Structure 1
Amino acid sequence: MKPILQNLIAAINFFTRLPMYRLMMPPKECYSRVLPYAVIAGWVVGLFGAACWIAFAKALPFHFAIILTMAVMVLFTGALHEDGFADFADGFGGGLNKERILAIMKDSHIGTYGVISLILLFIVRFGALTSISSDKVAALLISGAVVGRFIGVLLPNFLPYARTIKASKIQVGLTPMTTLQIVLSLAVATSTGYLFFGWMGLFALALAACILPVGVIYMKRKIGGYTGDCCGMMITTAEIAWYVAVVILDARF
């Protein structure tokens, strides 16, 4: 059980800013095995966001409570996926070939594409969260965090890493999930969606998952693989796609 616990703590360390290292300092190689635990980390992030939303909503106007909830969730994750989203926008927006795209994504400075993409990201996120009834916001936050991470961490199963391991930000390679791990992660994602939104949750998951093959084809054509920023972009985009799908289905049915 110790390796499983170490991998889980590594995943929570990786996907959040919780100081789990105070309980246990996982070996560096554990960070290469965090993908199967992404959905669990999603539950941690989602529950934190839902708890903050409930607390804020009791004392503040609806829209202001949503803004503060979005802000604390970004702080809780260290803006990990938003950073990847912006880097992806800069790299693929400004790069004309693989070498240039990878160089731009590795640059710590943010460019025009990154700024605009983040503005649009938060506008869409805010619009989705304020377009559903207040009693469903917590459910949307939890399920979105789980679904987004499930879809996003599937990239290594379809694409090779586009850089060398030494050139990566975390200095370790992400180990693709086994078939059993994918099935278990899918079970967590689908049961989460169904728990909160019934059959609409399953349909919304299918719709959100459609961005995965599109992203895989695009990344393969442009850089021949994926990077950590690509995973961050996919997680963020899948989460937003889930929000939008649920809001649309909820309004219609």
Structure 2
Amino acid sequence: MTKPENGQIKAQVKESQIEQLIAQAKSQLNLFYLALSFFTRLPVPQSMHYSEILLNKANRYFSLVGLVTGLLLALIYVGFSSFLPVNIAVLLIMGVSLLLTGAFHEDGLADMADGIGGAFTREKRLSIMKDSRIGTYGAAALVMALLLKFTLLVELTQQDSNHLLLALILAASLSRAVAGSLISSMPYVTDDDLSKSKPLAQAQSSTELSILLLIGIAPLIFYASEVVFALLLVLLIFRWLFKQWLMDKIGGFTGDCLGAAQQISELLIYLTLVSFINKDILSGVIT
């Protein structure tokens, strides 16, 4: 075999490897678009390919969807705060957040509160969660969550607006990582035909979990080590307690439970950050 032939073979192999990398990149981008279309109202390319199997694999990008959402909210807040008082700008970005996500996670929180708070048997709790109407427990949980979120976000702006901007990005990504990680360690317990999370919540591989968590914790690089430790500790304790509570109440999780986990995790992140403001530990944030 001559040298030109060897060179031609090597070129073909290299070209094939490049084509494989491009195909893999397009496949992952398609999964991200699927996650984005499921969890937000943001537009995605019409060329996006859908199947239930692919949608289930898209759970690896839950936290990336949160990262995109958080970045958008941070940019919008910068725009609003340039000509509006802080409290009004915060209220407006909360409204924008609801529009971006279609209040998807807030709806899950309300439904879970209604189901678990308003019944004493597993079957009845699951039945109530499927009801699109909101009850007293759901309304109370939703109002309290929104009021607390508004108060905490305004508090984060008092020292430096950079704290709020980074908090929006961190909370959006890390809270979704916490919620999404529940898929890997709990059984799915709802009617497939009525499930809001179908087929996203069916399974999660170790690779998908790793990608989810790595993206979720990425914004922590901007925080001091004390803050990072406190945040992770709080969220790990919450995840363990929430998992045990769900197993006791319904024997697993539903799509509504994932939404509730995201909302509660987000609030816990804001609470933890606010708790460090007076200690001046958030000075570790890059400004």
TM-score of the aligned structures, taking structure 2 as reference length? 0.83
Provide the residue aligned with 1:16 in structure 2.
40
Give the superposition deviation at 1:175: 4.0
Report the equivalent of 2:81. Answer: 57
Amino acid at match of 2:194: A
User: What displacement does 1:21 show?
Assistant: 4.6
Please identify, of 62-71 and 3-12, the stretch whose mean Cα deviation from structure 2 is larger: 3-12
Do structure 1's residue 118 and structure 2's residue 145 form an aligned pair? no
Tell me how many residue pairs correspond in the alignment: 252
Give the number of the structure whose alpha-carbon radius of gyration is greater.
Answer: 2
Letter of the structure 2 residue corresponding to residue 52 of structure 1: I
Question: Between the two proteins, what is the percent identity of the paired residues?
Answer: 31
Return structure 1 stretches of 4+ with deviation > 4 angstroms.
Answer: none
Q: 1:150 aligns with which of 151, 174, 177?
A: 177
Q: Determine the structure 1 residue equivalent to 2:100.
A: 76
The 8 Å contact of residues 162 and 224 in structure 1, kept in 2 or not, is answered as yes
CA-atom RMSD in angstroms:
1.6
- The answer to whether the Cα contact below 8 Å between 2:184 and 2:209 also exists between their aligned partners in 1 is no
1:26-175 residue pairs with structure 2 within 5 A?
26-132=50-156, 133=159, 134-175=161-202
Q: Give the Cα–Cα distance (whole angstroms) in 1 for the partners of residues 278 and 47 of structure 2.
A: 44
Give CA deviations for 1:133-184 in whole Å, capped at 9, x if unaligned.
Answer: 3231111100000110000011111211112423323542524332233233
2-structure distance, mates of 1:34, 1:204: 26
Contact (CA 8 Å) 1:34, 1:174: kept in 2 or not? no
Q: Decide whether aligned partners of structure 1 residues 170 and 240 sit closer, same or farther in structure 2, where only a CA change above 3 A counts.
A: closer
CA distance in 1, matches of 2:228, 2:38: 27
Q: TM-score, normalised by structure 1?
A: 0.94
Change (3 A) 1:189 1:251: farther
How far apart in 1 are the matches of 2:206 and 2:46? 32
Contact 1:161 1:226 in 2 (8 A): yes
Do structure 1's residue 198 and structure 2's residue 224 form an aligned pair? yes
- Displacement after TM superposition at 1:201 (Å): 3.0
- Cα deviation, 1:42-68, whole Å, max 9, x if unaligned, reads 111101110111100001001000000
